[in-house]
Amino acid sequence: MKIEIVMPAYNAAKTIESVFNRIPPGFYNKIDKIIAVNDGSSDNTTNVIEKLSKQYNKLVVLNHEKNKGYGAAQKTGFNKAIEFNADIVILLHSDGQYAPELLPKMIKPIEENNSDVVLGSRFLGGGALKGGMPLYKYLGNRILTKIENIAYGMHISEFHTGYMIYSKKALKTIKFNKLSDTFHFDGEMVMMSGKKKIKIAEIGIPTRYAEEESHLKPIKYGLDVLKIILKEKMGKYDF
């Protein structure tokens, strides 16, 4: 199977190199391309990626001249992966919060044709708080996930993960280019997977909170999630 990694990068100069270095060598040999989308970074990300491109011959670099948003970066990467005729597309963050070491395990449900979307859940196994997730984020995530499950008729342990893997079928079924350009893109993709009856698998992943900078505003984020639920109920996602 042709495997592509899509890595949005915004002001990730301090972390992106370590993410590349943590990809298991055996898994790196299996993948076709790593598509890094530099989303208008204002730090040294551009120079670090340029350095990495000399070290990793599978790295493809796509640049947004201005910051377009996390969801927009994913769209750029996913469209390129589709152009490369990918069978499996992996979303891997450039801040190191999600463990690249788990990639061989994460893709198995799709490789074995048991699922078309795989979510890495920080709540399966109960290690979120032990891994350093701030209490307000833990509670907010749990409450929002509960509300979303009720609203969408789903049974997902975590709607707000950023560790996600898609099959070719999933990306062709979901009209992801119509979704938001923001941090809500991931949650919308989970919701759309439910609407389209796409089979979802969840795998427990460790929680890691270190020095990475968060670009989320918790209260606004939560209110926006509620707005998305309302829009879904109004048929705004019926495409």
Which residues, listed in sequence order, are joined to residue 164 by a DSSP beta bridge? Answer: 91, 119
Q: Running DSSP on this structure, what letter comes out for residue 178?
A: G
pLDDT value at residue 214: 57
pLDDT value at residue 199: 98
Name the CA radius of gyration of the chain, rounded: 17
Number of H helices and number of E strands within the chain?
10, 7
Q: What are phi and psi of 228, to 5 degrees?
A: -65, -40
pLDDT value at residue 210: 60
pLDDT value at residue 56: 97
pLDDT per residue, tens digit, the chain (239 aa), is 999 999 999 999 999 999 999 999 999 999 999 999 999 999 999 999 999 999 999 999 999 999 999 999 999 999 999 999 999 999 999 999 999 999 999 999 999 999 999 999 999 977 788 888 889 989 999 999 999 999 999 999 999 999 999 999 999 999 999 999 999 999 999 999 999 999 999 999 998 766 555 566 889 999 999 999 999 999 999 99
Dist. CA 198–CA 189, nearest whole Å: 11
24 token code pair = 């298991």
pLDDT value at residue 213: 52
68 token code pair = 């377009």
Give the burial class of 171: count Cβ atoms within 10 A of its Cβ; 0-12 exposed, 13-18 middle, 19 or more buried. Answer: buried
pLDDT value at residue 218: 83
How many of the other CB atoms lie within 10 Å of CB of 91? 22
pLDDT value at residue 37: 98
Question: 143: Cβ–Cβ under 8 A, 6 or more apart, which residues?
Answer: none
pLDDT value at residue 122: 93
What is the CATH number assigned to the segment(s) 3-233? Answer: 3.90.550.10
Q: Running DSSP on this structure, what letter comes out for residue 134?
A: -
